[in-house]
Each structure stands twice: as structure tokens, then as C-alpha cells.
Amino acid sequence: MRTTLKCSMLQRALGLSGLLACAASIAFAQIKPIPQIAKKGDKFTFMVDGKPFIMLGGQVGNFSAFPDLMERAWPTFKAMNLNTVEYPIYWNVIEPVEGKYDFTGFDQILHGVRAQGLRAMILWFGTWKNGAMDWSPNWVKADPKRFPRVLDAGGRPIRVLSPHSRTTLEADKRAYTAMMKHLREIDEAERTVIMSQVQNEPGSLGSVRDFSPESNKLFSGPAPAKLVAALKKHPGTWKEAFGREADEAFNAYYISSYINEVAQAGKQVYPLPTLVNVWNGGYGTNDNWERFDRPGETYPSGGAVAHMLDLWKANSPAIDVIAPDIYHQSPITYLKILNSYHRQDNPSMVIETGRGIAGRAFFYAIADFAAIGFGPFGVDGGGPDLRPDMAAVGADFRLFKSTIPVIAELQGTPRLKAAVEETGVGARNLIFGNYDALVRFRPPGRQPAGTMGPAAAAAVSEPAARVMIAELGPDEFLVMGFESSVEWRPVQGSDFTAAQFVSVEEGVFENGVWKRTVLGRTSQGDFAGPTVSLPAQGALMRVKLMRY
């Protein structure tokens, strides 16, 4: 009403020009702030609609991003408690004929996601998808003279497009830019899409690099001086500068240069945050324990794997996030990868993950690594009843969803901690300002009474207990988790000997305000000790304590 009144006054004062100016101001006011990744000190915050946001994502299958298949998946997305759905955009679908774009399916899916009240991350399946060229258009695949393929060490072409081809780069860049331009036209006001992944698990699977004559000539020449200086290498040829990693580093340089140029062109049209995801490998981070873990063999060469991450960060400034895809079930390996990508120049995000550990890994990622997003792969296809491998993450998201405004503020501080059950770990001690919190898990490997021998071994269950604790104030905590108990005592060395509850409430946040649920439990501490129990189905509790 106030804006309308001002416009009316302006129109009378300035006539038509005033009316046009006012209309433009109203249109501008109605556009939500563009998503961005803000950094303050060492902390990254994903800002969506001008507010802190943590992506509770779910990625659909590689072949699922078609309108009819996505339509069937809406109940699954709801059951998963997602706030963001990740889905591919296929170059060969939007540009089936060179220079002619078809955004019909693109628009249908986007409108459907928006109608579900979800945000979206789009995944550009262009030159690279899982270290190959499979989603590039047929007119690209069928013309290797214009769009050359990588040649392996024996001179044989493989199903990977060469990163040295300017023609291929320009074709990919035109298509990606056309998509981003169209996206801005239909989504700028709503901001349904909040991030764009540029390519998918890029690199070359089948050869460590391109061995074409052009590539060999570049490889024999000096490594770029700017890159050598940034990485503090000795100047010289690629072999002289990078030693045993020369072939992989060479490939990573040209692939990251290529993708950076595509991303930058897209940002000039519509500056959404950008991401590159990583098929992990090398130095003991791949699943292929029984094989030599080498670039181009067990993982795509040239991707932003941990030992190439410095190179990628130095050479692709248009990429805001480099995120690992983690499918490892070993917590040691999972945490190692999280730690590798948790850097002062890179926000933490897990864009693809899966199987049993994912439910526990979410707590690690959010509390210990300040992740701005987390997403299991293959969330579609389960209907309203979640597949067993998705149930734990869906339960995590259900508990966590309302706490995002609170938790996002505490990430990266000592006031947010997680305790996660692993085999052989029955408890964790978490230390806060005024209190120590002892988290006890269900007995690891719990089994039905009376089972012994092989039956007992078969009954051993996957670790599942997990707790996240946020210190809201000196004597106040937010506790969420599953199959655990939490007990508080005054911090060791203080003048206090014991603690007791002032109140314990089970509830949720509504628009950032705590609301005790109707069926929640409230205790004033008359008889209860300072311990809360978190059931198998999970609970979110707000605890107030006093020391004496």
C-alpha cells in the first residue's frame, strides 16, 4: 500500500517517466536476492533469499530428469524432507540440433519443483559426465574432426572429448549460457534454482590425458608460469615441475581452465553460485582397494581430487564450491575426504553420498565440517515409503529442517558438536563452555537376546546412534539425535559439583521461534537427573540447566 501511494504521488509529479521509474522499482523490489556464498573470517554461509541456508538435498538418478519421471518422484521428495532437489540438465536434450534449443522439459520440471515448494540445484551434463562424453549431443559425437576425442597412449580414441578443443569449448559454452539466460528469464523472480553444477565428475576415464599431437606438444613445453608460481613449483616442463603427477596435473589444468571458462560465461548471464563435483581417487581414497588406484584407470584423470585440489582452486576462480562425492562406508575414509575439502578457500558440501553411513555422515558434515549442504544420490523412485538406505537421512532431515536458522549461525564455532556411533565406540564426551556432555550410544553391535555364534554375527546391526548438540547460551542447549542419551556435568575444574535441569522441552522451530510440541515432554527438574534420552525415531529437545 505504501509503495502504491508513493508511485501515485510520483506519477502526478513526474508524469509518464515517473510512472515507468516507479514500475521498475516495484519490479526490482519483488526480485529476491540472488543466492550467494558469503564468507566472514574462516566461515562460509550459503545465503538464500538473504538468509542463511543449509541445503538438505537429494539427487535423482542420472536418467531421471524427465518431466514424467520427476512427477512420480514428488512423494519421495516430501518423504525425504528435502528442501532442495538436485537434477541433471542434459546437453543433448536441450540442443538436439546444433543452434536450436528446446527448453520444454526444462520448464516443466522447474515449474514442478517450484510447485512442490522446493529449491533446485541443476547439474549440467555437458562435455563431461562421470569422466566421459555420454550426454553431449549426437551431432558432437558424430563429428570427431570438429569435436576431437581424447587419444590414449596408443593413439586410440576414447569416449571423452578433448579439453584442448576450442570448438568443443565454444559449443558447450554457448549451450550452457543459453540455458542460464533462459533460467534467468523464467526464474529470476522466484529463485527456485539456487546453484549450478558445471559438468559432472569431470575428467578422462580411459586415459591419464590426451596423447594427441597437439596435447603432446603442450605437455613437452613449459608448465604455465602463473600456475607454477601459485603452486610453488620449480619452473620447467610439466614433468620437471610436477614429477610423477605431471600427466594428471596437465590434464587437470586444461580441464579446470575449460570448465572455469564455461562457468564464467554462465555467470555473466546469471551469476548463481557454481559447483564442481568430484569422483574421488588416488592416494587411498577410492573403493578399488584391490587395484592400483591411478588416474584414468580407477577414477577420471584431471578431476579435482584431493591431491589436485590446490591446482583447481588456483585455476578456476569462477567455481565457488568443489564438492566430493563420497560413497565410502569406512568412517576413517569418509572423514579423511571431508577434511581434505574443508578449507579456508572452499566451502564444505557433500553433493553425492549413499548407503549405510550417510545418516551418520550428515551429523559429521554439518557439525564438524560446517557443511553448507548434504545430498544423498538416487532419492527418486521410492514413492512415499523410503528405501531402507534413504530412511536414516530422511529422518535426519526431518529433525534438522526447522533448526537451520539456528545451526547455520553456530557452524564453524565450538558451540556446535556431533557425537556419532561407530563400531567399537560406545560413547563420546563433548566439551562446552560451562558443561561437559557425555553422549552414550546404544550398545554397538546390539543383537537379539539368546543369539550366539553365526546367528549373533548375522544379527549385528549397522551403527546408527548419532547426536548433535548446539550451545544456545551458557546454560542452554539444543539436542537432536537418535538412539542415545546425553548427560551433563559442570565442566571439569569449575567451582560447581553437579548440574540439574531447569527445563527439558521437545519441540520444533517455527520461523526461527521455538515451539514446544503438543506431545512433547517438559520437565522442571523436580526428580529428573540431568540426562535426556533420544529414541530410535529421533527427537529434538531444548534443555536449560543450572549448576550448583
End-to-end CA distance of the chain: 56
pLDDT of residue 105: 98
Identify the CATH number of the domain in which residue 157 sits: 3.20.20.80
Q: Is residue 412 part of a domain?
A: no
Q: Is residue 373 part of a domain?
A: yes
Q: What is the pLDDT of residue 386?
A: 84
Q: Is residue 248's pLDDT more than 50? A: yes
Same domain? 4 vs 64: no
The CA distances from residue 408 to 353, 366, 512, in Å, are 21, 9, 12
How high does pLDDT run on average in the chain? 90
Using one digit for the tens of pLDDT, what is the confidence trace for 441-471?
975 444 433 334 444 443 447 899 999 999 9
Please check whether residues 323 and 467 belong to one and the same domain.
Answer: no
Torsional class of 425: left (φ above 0), alpha (ψ -120 to 50), beta (otherwise): beta
Task: Report the SS3 class of residue 449.
Answer: coil
Quote the pLDDT of residue 348. Answer: 98
**225 Cβ contact partners less than 8 Å away, ≥ 6 residues apart:** 235
Asked if residue 451 is part of any domain, the answer here is: no
Proportion of the chain above pLDDT 70, given as a percent: 88
- Going by pLDDT thresholds of 50, 70 and 90, the confidence category of residue 388 is confident
Same domain as 473, residue 390: no
- With 50 as the cut, is the pLDDT of residue 83 above it? yes
Burial class of residue 427 (count of CB atoms within 10 Å of its CB; 0-12, 13-18, 19+):
middle
Classify residue 543: in a domain, yes or no. yes
- Is residue 497 situated within a structural domain? yes
* Ramachandran area for residue 196 (φ above 0: left; ψ -120 to 50: alpha; else beta): beta
Is 409 among the domain residues?
no
Task: Report the domain count for the chain.
Answer: 3
Cβ-Cβ contacts under 8 Å for 93 (sequence gap 6 or more): 102, 105
Answer whether residue 411 is part of any domain: no
311 with 328, same domain?
yes
Domain match, 92 and 162 both: yes
DSSP state string for 239-296: HHHHGGGHHHHHHHHHHHHHHHHHHHHHHHHS---EEEEEE--STT-SS-TTS---BT
Set of cell numbers at residue 512: 526461527
Residue where a domain stops, chosen among 337, 368, 402: 402
Least confident of 245-249, 269-273, 499-503, 518-522: 518-522
Specify whether 349 is located in the same domain as 303: yes
| pLDDT the model gives residue 516 | 94
Cβ(542)–Cβ(505) under 8 Å? yes
Confirm whether 408 is domain-assigned.
Answer: no
| C-alpha cell, 159 | 569416449
CATH code (residue 486): 2.60.220.20
Burial state string for 228-242 with b = 16 or more CB within 10 A and e = fewer than 16:
beebebeeeebbebb
Confidence band for 166, pLDDT divided at 50, 70 and 90: very high
- Looking at the fold, whether 384 and 273 belong to one and the same domain comes out as yes
Residue-wise pLDDT for 252-292, tens only, equals 999 999 999 999 999 999 999 999 999 999 876 766 777 88
Grid cell, residue 529, equals: 537427573
**Domain around 19:** 1-30
Provide the pLDDT for residue 429.
Answer: 97
> Phi and psi at residue 434, in whole multiples of 5°?
-105, -10
Q: Are residues 502 and 387 in the same domain?
A: no
What's CA 226's distance to the chain center, in Å?
A: 30
Q: What pLDDT is recorded for position 4?
A: 37
CB 58 within 8 A of CB 85: yes
Contact 177, 269 (CB under 8 A): yes
pLDDT exceeds 80 at position 497: yes
Q: Which residues pair with 479 in a beta bridge?
A: 469, 541
Query: Do residues 164 and 197 both lie within one domain?
Result: yes
Task: Indicate whether 55 and 100 sit together in one domain.
Answer: yes
Same domain, 157 and 128: yes
Rounded distance, CA 393 to CA 401, Å?
Answer: 12
Residues 349, 304, single domain; the answer is: yes
Tell me the pLDDT tens digit for each residue of 89-122.
Answer: 999 999 999 999 999 999 999 999 999 999 999 9
pLDDT in tens, 399-437: 999 999 999 999 999 999 999 999 999 999 999 999 999
